[in-house]
């Protein structure tokens, strides 16, 4: 039995008929991050990924390693490649999007037209922070709060407690990821970083350049690590320009 693509992606209805934008969230995030994107990207089919362990799939265990997650996403994405598509990912989502682009290439599937990577150092640069996914619950919550500050993700302690298993699994994806060298992608990469994000330096952002043979752009956006929540306009403008040109 084939994979149910509708469990993994949430396309808009009606379908505007343009290129698809597959959106992958940061750790602990879900489709709600991209709720306002369809209105800002007229003519683009915004398809947020529905990952296990959150929202409608809250009852399913979150995936804690990148390989099975990317394999499942590649299976689910295959039916959606009948027209041009691009990949967007923020933080954890950026590395998942990059590996998904590689997996589609390795399978001989249609490649994305663009890769938009936000809030994450280039794949070959190790995680700058010590591992935290094996910490006890209270220490894990405190560590994430310390790293990322008083963002919307931590405004409701009861919600954080409920989401800790998923946050732990997502942290494990990031912290156990090891880049395997491969040929650069053919699609252009546009990397975004927050001006006040202490976890991603300008050099970290520029290093994405080595992973594409199709052109590279980087943009610093006003904001901290979660700039796509507080200040998505520059990101959306760049995506709109790139996909409009495509």
Identify the CATH number of the domain in which residue 196 sits.
3.40.50.1820
Question: Omega before 14 cis (within 30°)?
Answer: yes
Domain ranges, residue 15: 5-124+181-245
The answer to the question of residue 25 being in a domain is yes
> What pLDDT, on a 0 to 100 scale, did the predictor assign at position 139?
74
How far apart (Å, rounded) are the C-alpha atoms in residues 116 and 12?
20
Q: Within 10 Å of residue 53's Cβ, how many Cβ atoms?
A: 21
Q: Report if residue 29 sits inside a domain.
A: yes
Residue 187 in any domain: the answer is yes
Cβ within 8 Å of residue 211, ≥6 positions away: 98, 122, 123, 124, 184, 185, 189
As a whole number of angstroms, the distance between CA 164 and CA 136 comes to: 10
Element at 146 (helix H, strand E): helix 137-148
As a whole number of angstroms, the distance between CA 211 and CA 207 comes to 8
pLDDT tens string 88-115 = 999 999 999 999 999 999 999 999 999 9
186 domain-assigned: yes
pLDDT in tens, 208-223: 999 999 999 999 999 9
- Report yes or no: 211 and 123 within 8 Å, Cβ to Cβ: yes
- Examine the pLDDT at 10 and tell me if it is beyond 60: yes
The domain total for the chain is 1
Active site residues: 91
* 3-state SS class at 206: helix
Alpha-carbon radius of gyration of the chain:
17
N-term to C-term CA, the chain: 35
Lowest-confidence region among 29-33, 107-111, 136-140, 154-158: 154-158
């Amino acid at each position: 039995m084939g994979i149910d693509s509708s469990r993994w992606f949430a396309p808009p209805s009606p379908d505007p008929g343009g290129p698809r934008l597959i959106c992958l969230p940061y750790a602990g995030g879900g489709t709600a991050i991209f709720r306002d994107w369809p209105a800002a990207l007229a003519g683009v089919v915004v398809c947020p990924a529905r990952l296990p362990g959150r929202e409608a799939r809250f009852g399913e265990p979150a995936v804690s390693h990148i390989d099975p997650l990317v394999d499942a996403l590649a299976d689910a994405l295959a039916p959606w490649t009948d027209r041009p598509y691009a990949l967007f990912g923020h933080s954890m989502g950026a590395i998942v999007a990059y590996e998904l682009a590689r997996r589609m290439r390795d399978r001989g599937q249609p490649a994305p037209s663009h890769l938009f990577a936000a809030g994450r150092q280039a794949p070959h640069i190790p995680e700058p922070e010590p591992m935290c996914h094996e910490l006890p619950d209270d220490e894990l919550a405190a560590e994430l709060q310390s790293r990322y500050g008083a963002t919307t993700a931590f405004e409701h302690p009861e919600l954080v407690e409920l989401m800790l298993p998923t946050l732990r699994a997502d942290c494990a994806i990031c912290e156990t990821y090891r880049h395997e060298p491969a040929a650069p992608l053919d699609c252009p990469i546009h990397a975004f970083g927050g001006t006040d994000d202490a976890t991603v330096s300008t050099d970290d952002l520029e290093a994405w350049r080595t992973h594409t043979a199709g052109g590279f752009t980087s943009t610093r956006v006003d904001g901290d690590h979660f700039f796509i929540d507080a200040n998505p306009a520059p990101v959306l403008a760049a995506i709109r320009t790139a996909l409009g040109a495509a």
